[in-house]
Amino acid sequence: MKVFNKKEGSMDVENWIIDASVDSDGHLTLNICHHDGSKVHILGADVSDETGWGDRFTTESIESEYKKQTG
């Protein structure tokens, strides 16, 4: 399991770690990982408003647990 090295300026949201940075050209980069250490997947849920961007993320471990619970 890969362990994410939390950087200064990162934020914790429950079991998630989000690192945001902006390069010299103004591009935003987001790095997202979960404390469970499993691979993160973007779900393509498009949970944004008209002017922003929003999505939903999961991990292999979260999905595995969900499948166990729901059969």
pLDDT tens digits, one per residue of 17-60: 999 989 999 999 999 999 999 999 999 888 888 888 999 999 99
Dihedral angle sign, alpha carbons of residues 16, 67, 1, 21: negative
Would you state the pLDDT for residue 1? 41
pTM score, whole prediction: 0.77
Q: What percent of the chain has pLDDT over 90?
A: 66
Q: Quick one: CA torsion of 23, 39, 17, 69, rounded to 10 degrees? A: 150
